Each structure stands twice: as structure tokens, then as C-alpha cells.
Amino acid sequence: MGTVITITSGKGGTGKTSITGGVAASLALMGRTVLCVDMDIGLRNLDISLGLNDRALMDFSDVALGRCPLARAAVEHPTLKGLWLLTSPMSLPASLTTEKVRSLLDTARTMYDYILIDSPAGLGAGFRLAVCGADRALVVSTSDASSLRDAQRTVAELEQLKTIHLVMNRIQARLLRKLRATIDDAMDAAGLPLIGVVPEDPQVILCANLGLPLTTRGPKGAALACRNIARRLEGGRVPIMRIR
């Protein structure tokens, strides 16, 4: 059975979508079958991050509400074997319930090794749908105080999950030194064990604009950090990247 992982943060602008796409592509390159589910209702961008811009015609609400089977709605990546996308609707149907989303995810577990959910910002209805059927969560934060506070608030809403990890994203060594802050400080503030540190990397924006998965830029920077997170999800022992 596959594992459902929600990538969330509470605060917008932390880079959840780029982390979702980077880790998903890394898992696919490792030979795993991966379904990415964009649950950022109304503000979906995961298709751009994966290089699947506007390829999806059906969305996860069509599957959850029985209008389309999952195998038909999920769009396979044209060049990255093992990677699929199930996109988000532009608005939240009133009939879409957590029970129907859980049923969708139960079906997905029988078809894929991993299901990665890109959660919307905030802790509203979209967030509740994104976490209702998760097995574990990755909480993404930057080093600023407001992002870490929102990460704490998000953790408080994830009490039903036994496994929650922190991803520190968009980290700049110079800024950390200036603030006299460390990754340990961030872990203490969020109250979570760390699964990855991702540096600020212009390749993230470049790849999105070119419609290319981040992993195509080679084993360095944010691409390498996402690959390391994927290896840790698989149980590998990989040193945390040092940001210099």
C-alpha cells in the first residue's frame, strides 16, 4: 500500500509547491510510482512546477465525486517515468467531503507507492481536505519568525498524525549568520524533527518558467536537497545539507 504525505506550512510563500514537485520527481527517479495531488484550490501551480502546465483536464474533485476514475484523471509526466499529477478544481464543490477525499486516497494507495499532497496556505477547509487522509506530513518553513510561528500552529492541527517532519526552505547562510540564527533554533521554534534543509536557489524559479522538473538541473542546490529528502523518506541515512 502506498503512503500519503501532505506538504503543508500554514503560511503562504514558503515554497510548498516547489518542495512537493522536487521530492516527487526525485522519488520517481528512484524508481517509485508517485501521484502528486494539488489541493491548493483556486490557486493551483503544481502543474507548472512539474512541467505539466494545463495538461490536466479533470481534477481531484471529479474523482472524489465519482465523475471520473482516478486512472483517467491523473496525468502522467511525458518524460519522467513514474510521476503523475492530479490537479485541483478552481473552486471547492459543496458536496466534497473529507470522507470522499479519504476514499479517493485509499484508491490511490493501491495504485502508487507515494501520494504527495500540495496543501493550500492557511488552516481552512482546503487544509482539512489535504490532511484528512494523510499518513505523515512535511511542514515547510522559512527562517523568518512569522513562518516558524505558523509552522507551530500547523503542527497543532496535525495531532492525528504520528510522523511529522520539518523542511527548512529558502535558507540563506548569510542571512542566518546576520540574524545569529541556526537550524537548531528553527527546529526548537517549530517543535519538529528536521528532514531537510533546502537552500535559496534561482534554479527553482528558472525551472518553473521553463516548464522543467527541478531534478533536471543536476545534483546540486535545491534539486540535491529534494533528492536527499526523498532518500530519507525511503529510510536512507543522509547527512543534512550544510548551507554555506
Q: What's the rounded mean pLDDT across residues 41-60?
A: 83
Q: What pLDDT is stored for residue 178 in this prediction? A: 62
The β-bridge relationship of strands 83-86 and 75-76 is: antiparallel
Whether the pLDDT of residue 189 is over 90: the answer is no
Q: What is the mean pLDDT of residues 141-149?
A: 87
62 within domain boundaries: yes
Q: Establish if 239 belongs to a structural domain.
A: no
Asked if residue 243 belongs to a domain, the reply is: no
Q: Which three cell numbers stand for residue 230?
A: 526523498
Tell me, what's the pLDDT at 183? 66
In a domain, 204, yes or no: yes
Query: Does 241 map to a domain?
Result: no
Range of the domain at 153: 3-231
Q: Is residue 214, in this structure, part of any structural domain at all?
A: yes
Q: Looking at this protein, which amino acid is placed at residue 152?
A: Q
Query: Does 225 map to a domain?
Result: yes
Let me know: does 13 contact 63? Beta carbons within 8 Å: no
What is the model's pLDDT at position 174? 76
Residue 237 lies in a domain: no
Residue 238 contacts residue 232 (beta carbons within 8 Å): yes
Confidence of residue 224 (pLDDT cuts 50, 70, 90): very high
Domain of 26, CATH number, reads: 3.40.50.300
> Measuring CA to CA, which residue among 129, 108, 151, 208 is closest to residue 11?
151
Q: Which residue has the higher pLDDT, 179 or 204?
A: 204
Q: Taking the complete model, does pTM exceed 0.95, yes or no?
A: no
Total domains present in the chain: 1
What would the mean pLDDT of 60-72 be, rounded to a whole number?
95
Model pLDDT for residues 102-137, shown as the tens digit of each residue: 999 999 999 999 999 999 988 888 899 999 999 999
Q: For residue 96, what pLDDT is reported?
A: 94
**Cα-flanking dihedrals φ and ψ of residue 187, to 5°?**
-65, -40
